[in-house]
Amino acid sequence: MLDHVSITVSTLPAVVGFYDAIMAALGHPCVRRDDDALGYGIRNDATDDSHTYISVLATGNDIEASSRHWCFRARNRAAVDMFHAAGLAHGGINDGAPGIRKAYHPEYYAAFLRDPDGNRIEAVCHKAI
């Protein structure tokens, strides 16, 4: 559902390992790496608009991130599990272990993390697997 998202952080060095790990777990390659920005995924073009592109941008400002929420599609439940483990191993904080969230629908399998700047990051698989 997402076309692109920009996530702002105070500094890239504090979050680069976290985002590299969770995006790799979800199968999204890092395609941009600059001093003030990271980019993951594939940009859309006129012949194929089925992708999502994620930018992680350093702002250098104090950021109130506690109410921000970013959810990424996972290809299967194993990818949700890998996302959660990778995030925890790279500075993320558990905000909801992998599992079914029946309040959303019977097959909603998700995990939640806080990145090192406090953004709430989710991965979800909607498939009945």
Sheet holding 69-73, edge to edge: 69-73, 120-125, 109-114, 93-100
What residues have CB less than 8 Å from 123, skipping those under 6 apart?
Answer: 22, 25, 26, 71, 72, 73, 74, 79, 80, 83, 84, 110, 111
Mean pLDDT value across residues 91-112? 94
The answer to whether residues 106 and 98 touch, using CB atoms and an 8 Å cutoff, is: no
Mean pLDDT value across residues 80-100? 97
Q: Which comes out higher in pLDDT, residue 22 or 43?
A: 22
pLDDT at position 36 is 87
Q: Which comes out higher in pLDDT, residue 6 or 82?
A: 82
Question: What residue ranges define each of the domains in the chain, with the CATH number in brackets?
Answer: 4-125 (3.10.180.10)
Mean pLDDT value across residues 55-82? 81
Q: 106: closest CA among 123, 127, 122, 121?
A: 127
Q: Which comes out higher in pLDDT, residue 124 or 60?
A: 124
pLDDT of 80 above 70: yes
pLDDT in tens, 41-52: 887 777 877 878
pLDDT of 62 above 70: no
Q: What are phi and psi of 4, to 5 degrees?
A: -155, 155
Q: Which comes out higher in pLDDT, residue 67 or 113?
A: 113
pLDDT at position 66 is 62
pLDDT of 69 above 90: no
pLDDT at position 129 is 75
Using N-to-C axis directions, what is the helix angle for 16-25 and 77-89, rounded to 10°? 160
